[in-house]
Amino acid sequence: MNQAWLEACKEVENLGGDVHTIITSLEQKQLEGHGWVYHIKLDETQTVAGIWWQSPLQAELGKQFNDVLINNNTYNRNSSGYPLNVGIIINNFGAS
């Protein structure tokens, strides 16, 4: 298992790192014309501050169920080095 993890990390590193790999994958999916949409938010130093994407299935589900889920997560960025995941759901009445 450790060997597989190391190989996967090496592959991502060879592709340019986590963010570059994600953006490349999203660009490829969008170019293939399957309905993928994404947006990258950059800060004033042109550093990626956020990435939003939507798969074709998510788009269809969004039309059917118009509730909104906002998910904010981070890994190894707080003072304890633990992951943090905060989510909020807003229903079609605007209540959270």
pLDDT of the chain along its 96 residues, tens only? 888 878 877 876 776 677 888 888 899 999 998 899 999 998 899 888 888 999 999 888 888 887 788 888 776 666 777 778 888 888 878 888
Contacts of 87 (CB under 8 A, 6+ apart): 69, 70, 71, 72
Kindly list the domain boundaries of the chain, sorted by start residue: 2-55, 66-96
pTM (2 d.p.): 0.57
Three state DSSP letters for 23-55: HHHHHHHHHCCCCCEEEEEECCCCCEEEEEEEC
Contacts of 50 (CB under 8 A, 6+ apart): 40, 41
